[in-house]
Structure 1
Amino acid sequence: MSQATRILLALVVGLAIGIGIAAWAPSAANAGIVIAQPVGTAWLNALQMTIVPLVVSLLVTGVAATAEAARAGRVASRALALFIGLLWSFSALAAILTPLLLGWFPLPSEAAAALRTALGETPPVGDIPPFSEFIASIVPSNPVAAAANNAFLPLILFTLVFAFALTRLPAEPRLLLTKFFQAVADTMLIVIGWVLWLAPIGVLALSYVVGAKAGTAAFGALLHYVLIISAIGIIVWIASFPIGAIGGRIGLARFVRATAPSQAVAISTQSSLASLPAMLRGAEGLGVPVATSGVVLPLAVAIFRVTGPPMNLAVAIYVAYWFGVPIGPVQLAAGVAVAAITTMGAVSLPGQISFVTSIAPICIAMGVPVAPLGLLVAVETIPDIFRTLGNVTMDLATTVTVSARSGEVPETEGDALLRA
């Protein structure tokens, strides 16, 4: 049984037990909550303790890898510029679309209230600072204090400055520091692996509390969450088709046919890396030279997760919607920035790990509680399908776009048949 299946099963069992005991023996359900709640909270705390060192180390190594790729040549530099532009654009799009979707398809107020009660009321956010104070607070006077206080936006800014400065060092000290941070990241991933091995226990405890307090409303609320977050991924996936057709100067139908095999692999494996051979064949069918696809596609698989920022930001906005946390332009701007930047540190991480490490910084930067993430990670399996589907299709779209913008004229279908 896969880890994702074990976690999902623990969620369903915990909800069912909590709902059943609350209906038949309320006093016993309350006694169970006293035991389950600290167990779930301890597991969630264990996940959170790895976030700061992991995000910092992955961001440093991600910037270093990106700088190395940019030095590789003109094709890699153009690909990186396109990647960054798309990551920020879709992050901003999610900041607009998610509130609209929640307005058009609202979660029933009774379910939202039940979940707030089950997950615990969030502390008041306080007054929203003026924009001038927000800008001033981005630059940390003490990066250690920023890390200790979970001030992620200032911490990320300092880490980016540090990482870009590292790329200017001579080769020997640059390699030494990069290896150090890679070792820190690898160590944290081992720790997270241990914590996630215990995930069925933590999720079972958290979902029991939610089921006992929220009742059957919990199932409907989680389904609503899955549909909203998946919708953002579907929008990114659909957008990849005109981007590939227009950017690559090819017919839309041809691009759809060429991407179909890699999309089938993406759905079945939920892995961009596993889809790479199919993507390379698709790029060849679109007339992209191997010299270009052999650079752009591996680079895209390594550092370009286009669905990550919009879907991660959508999760943070959804949690704020659950808890009634006011989200203004300043909070959305902070969320967009953190979402777009931290995706560079989500290199080749399993879905359950990247879910927590990528979304928690966004939530913290926006003043949104992170406690629900321990429950939501259990239903990530379905949104993760659309994450991978959008990533794989956009990888091919950017590859044909870079090829066309580099002056390489894609083969027509007739040329391809003659060559074959």
Structure 2
Amino acid sequence: MSQATRILLSLIVGLIIGVGAAALAPDRAQGAIGWVQPIGTAWLNGLRMTIVPLVVSLLITGIGQTAAIARASTLATRTILLFIALLWLSSALGAILTPTLLAWFPLPADSAAALRDTFSAAKPVGDIPPFADFLVAMVPTNPLASAAHDDFLPLIVFTTVFAFAVTRLPEGPRDTLLAFFQALADAMLVVINWVLLLAPIGVLALAYVVGAKTGTAAVGALFHYILIIAGVGALLSLLAYPLALIGGRVPLGMFARATAPSQAVAISTQSSLASLPAMLRGVEKVGLPVSTSGVVLPMAVAIFRFTGPCMNVGVAIYIAHVFGIHLGPAQYAAGIAAAAITTMGAVSLPGQISYVSSIAPIAIAMGVPIEPLALLVAVETMPDLVRTIGNVTMNVAVTTVVSERIGGTRSEADELLDHGA
């Protein structure tokens, strides 16, 4: 049984036990909350303790690896710049589309109250300055203090600048620093995998509290969450079709036929990497040269996740909606920046790990509580499926754009392949 399945089953079992206990013995069910809730809180704290070192190390190594690919040729550099532009676009559109969908399809009041009651101890975090001071506040005077106080946006800015500075060092010191942060990231991944082994217990405890406090009302909130977040990813994934048509000059019908096999593989495997062979065959049918697609698609699978920023910032906005937190321009700007930047460091992580390590910094940067993430991660299976399908579709679309608009000589492509891109 996969880890995601175990976590989902724990959620279902916990809700059933909580709802049943509240119906049969309300007083005892409420009394048990004081014993059960600390278990879920302790598990969440186990996840939280890894976030700062994991995000910092992954961001540094991610930028270092991306810079190494970019140095290989002009084709790689231009392709990566296109990736970055699309990631920022995804983040900005996610910040626009999510509140729009929530305005059209708001969460029922009783369901929102159910989630708020479950995480009644959760409070807004971080210190978001007024918009006039936003740019000044982005530059930390003390990065260690930013990390200690969960001021993620200044920390991300410093880490990004530091990572680019590392790429300018001579080869020896650069490789030493990158190896150190890679080892730190690997160690944090071991720790977080240990914590995730206990996820069924933590989620079971949290789900019991939800069921005992709110009955079945929270179930509606979870379904609403899935529909909104999956809807954001699905709608933005549709941008791949006009991008291929306008940027890649590929007719819509031809593009749809070329991407259908890789989308089918994505549905069955939930893996962009497993879909790579089908993507390569699809672009070959479109008529793209192997010298371009053989480079761009592996790069896209390795460092490009278009649906990541839009859906990640969407989760943070959804939590703010549940808690009735008003998000101003500074909060949205912080979320957009955090979502676009942290995606570069989290693309190769398993779903449950990337969910926490990617969304928690965004939520903290926006001043949004992260406690609900411990429960929402249990229903990430369906949104994650949408993420994978959208990423695969956009990867093919970007390849058509690179082939048509950016190009590159065969010698450049061969050189990139020799470098392992």
TM-score between the two structures when normalised by the length of structure 1: 0.95
Name the structure 2 match of 1:144: 144
Q: Residue 219 of structure 1 aligns with which residue?
A: 219
**Contact (CA 8 Å) 2:140, 2:155: kept in 1 or not?**
yes
The answer to whether structure 1 residue 173 and structure 2 residue 173 are counterparts is yes
Distance in 2 between residues matched to 1:231 and 1:219, nearest whole Å: 18
Could you tell me whether the CA contact under 8 Å between 1:75 and 1:295 is conserved in 2? no
Amino acid at match of 1:311: M
TM-superposed CA distance for 1:125, in Å, is 6.7
Partner residue, 1:388: 388
Change in Cα spacing, 1:126 to 1:57, as seen in structure 2 (3 Å) is: closer
Q: 1:239 to 1:222 in 2, by over 3 A?
A: same
Listed one character per residue, the Cα deviations across residues 283-324 of structure 1 (whole Å, up to 9, x for unaligned) are: 111111111112111111111010000000000000000011
Aligned to 1:342: 342
Is 1:78 equivalent to 2:75 in the alignment?
no
Corresponding residue of 1:198: 198
Q: CA deviation at 1:406?
A: 2.9
8 Å CA contact retained: 1:355, 1:377: yes
Aligned residue identity for 1:32: A
Report how far residue 27 of structure 1 moved: 1.6
Q: CA deviation at 1:121?
A: 4.5
Equivalent residues of 1:306, 1:394 under 8 A apart:
yes
Worse-superposed segment, 245-254 or 5-14: 245-254
Q: Which residue of 2 aligns with 1:418?
A: none
- 8 Å Cα contact 1:122-1:323 kept in structure 2: no
- Alignment-mate amino acid for residue 212 of structure 1: A
Match of 1:369 in 2: 369
| Deviation of 1:129 (Å) | 3.1
Q: d(CA) in 2 for partners of 1:244 and 1:375? A: 37
Q: Is the 8 A contact 1:125 1:325 kept in 2?
A: no
Cα contact 1:121–1:323 (8 A) shared by 2: no
Whether the 8 Å contact between 1:338 and 1:362 is mirrored in structure 2 is yes
Using the alignment, how far apart are the partners of 1:330 and 1:140 within structure 2? 16
Percent of matched pairs sharing the same residue: 67
- 2:66 maps to 66
Per-residue CA deviation, residues 174-213 of structure 1 (Å, 9 max, x unaligned), is 1111111000011111111111111000000001001111
Cα-to-partner distance string for 1:156-177 (whole Å, 9 max, x where unaligned): 1110111000001001111111
CA contact (8 A) 1:283 1:293 kept: yes
Whole-Å Cα distance in 1 between the matches of residues 65 and 239 of structure 2?
27
Tell me which amino acid in the other structure corresponds to 2:176: L
Q: Structure 1 unaligned runs (5+)?
A: 410-420
Shift of 1:107: 0.8
Letter in 2 for 1:40: G
**Residues 54 and 188 of structure 1 are in contact (CA less than 8 Å); yes or no, is this contact kept in structure 2?**
yes
C-alpha deviation, 1:137, in angstroms:
1.1
CA shift, 1:130, in A, is 2.2
Q: Which amino acid aligns with 1:279?
A: M
> Which whole-Å CA distance do the structure 1 matches of 2:107 and 2:354 have between them?
26
In the TM superposition, 1:5-154 aligns within 5 A as 5-123=5-123, 129-154=129-154
Alpha-carbon distance in structure 2 between the residues aligned to 1:35 and 1:342: 36
State yes or no: 1:296 paired with 2:333. Answer: no
Q: State the match for 1:235 in structure 2.
A: 235
How far, CA to CA, are the matches of 1:75 and 1:268 in structure 2? Answer: 32
| Residue 327 of structure 2 is aligned to residue 327 of structure 1 | yes
Q: Distance in 1 between matches of 2:148 and 2:408?
A: 50
Q: How many residues align?
A: 409
2:238 is paired with a residue whose SS is helix
Q: Does the 8 Å CA contact 1:266/1:274 hold for their aligned counterparts?
A: yes
Structure 2: which amino acid aligns with 1:27? D
Bigger shift: residues 115-124 or 62-71 = 115-124
Structure 1 pair 126/266, CA: closer, same or farther in 2 (3 Å)?
closer
Report the AA paired with residue 79 of structure 1.
Answer: T
Contact kept? 1:61, 1:182, Cα under 8 Å: yes
Partner of 1:267: 267
Q: Alpha-carbon deviation of 1:88?
A: 0.6
- What are the ranges of 5 or more consecutive residues in structure 2 without an aligned counterpart? 410-421
1:253 is matched with 253
